[in-house]
Structure 1
Amino acid sequence: MSAVGSVQVGAEQRPGSSITEENIHRLVHGFYAAVRDDEVIGPVFLREIAPDEWSTHLAKMCDFWSAVLLKTDRYSGRPLAPHLRLDDVEDAHFTRWLALFRQTARECFSPDGAAAVIGLAERIAHSFRMALAFHRGEDTAVEPLPAE
């Protein structure tokens, strides 16, 4: 369990916490609706996820964020592996992903809850960027993504 702000991430949910399964569902579905319409990252997602696979992907992402945020056992997988084959993903894609994610998180959670969720997303994005650089044989000392 970790604490980010005053929200206990991974703890049993206490009354008043905005990190709930319902809000995770809202986050995932709202975020990916924005992604599909986005000029920067939309084409990558639309190329990689077939139209008939979106419901499966959304369910998997709900399971992933439930596991990360609530420490449920709903997700078991290797989230990095599919991203390693994306040769054209660059920092601009990560920057846009985080901007859309931050915006959606703020719409779905209380300020403390959003801060916790965004903090985890930022760490995941940084980890994925380093892994992609290593996989490509590039310098893994990547610069931090721009703050808001």
Structure 2
Amino acid sequence: MIDIADRADIEALLRRFYGSALTDDVLAEPFTELRESGLESHLAVMCDFWETVLFRAGLYHGSALNVHRRLDAQHRLDAGHFARWLDLWTTTVDEMYRGPAADRAKVQAVRIATAMHRRLRGAEALELGTEFGARPVPAL
């Protein structure tokens, strides 16, 4: 099995991940708008985000927190949503890739989910834990 090496790998990962997430029992409601607008409208931004996270590409200049705040205003995002997102993300990464970049994708996902939950809810979520060796993210 190969590691995540470039944008094409990230896009393949995101397509498979969202293929599951958009119809998931827990995540379907928060992803309603994305499902209706279509994955293509969101994919380039998510590729920029993950390419920046994994390879320091400097392509993502938005605010993931603001996006999630708007989403949270429509569909309250609780620890269960973030835990399920992490479960699907980790499963998808493990199905497709092995190596340092794949490991970084999982560690960073834990950090991102933990920070998003903390910023939205003002509290830690034990459900998110510190899988994959991630350290708790300091409050911003």
Give the TM-score normalised by structure 1: 0.76
- How far apart in 1 are the matches of 2:37 and 2:91? 27
Match of 1:101 among 74, 89, 98: 89
Query: Could you say which structure has the larger radius of gyration?
Result: 1
Gaps of 5+ in 2: 133-140
Q: 2:10 and 2:17 mapped to 1: Cα distance?
A: 10
Give distance in 2, aligned partners of 1:145 and 1:115.
17
1:20-35 paired onto structure 2 within 5 Å:
20-35=6-21
Which residue identity is paired with 1:41?
Answer: L
TM-superposed deviation, 1:17? 5.1
Tell me if structure 2 keeps the 8 A contact 1:19–1:109: no
The structural deviation recorded for 1:41 is: 0.4
Q: Is 2:44 the partner of 1:44? A: no
Find the aligned partners of 1:25 and 1:50 in 2 and give their Cα distance.
17
Which has a greater percent of helix? 2
Partner residue of 1:145?
128
Alignment of 1:73 onto 2:58:
yes
How many residue pairs end up in the alignment? 127
In structure 2, what is the equivalent of residue 6 of structure 1?
Answer: none
1:18 and 1:57 map into 2 onto residues whose CA distance is: 20
Unaligned runs of 5+ in 1: 1-15, 135-139
CA RMSD of aligned residues (A): 2.1
Deviation, structure 1 residue 50: 5.6
In structure 2, C-alpha distance between the alignment counterparts of 1:43 and 1:144, rounded to whole Å: 20
* Percent identity of paired positions between Structure 1 and Structure 2: 30
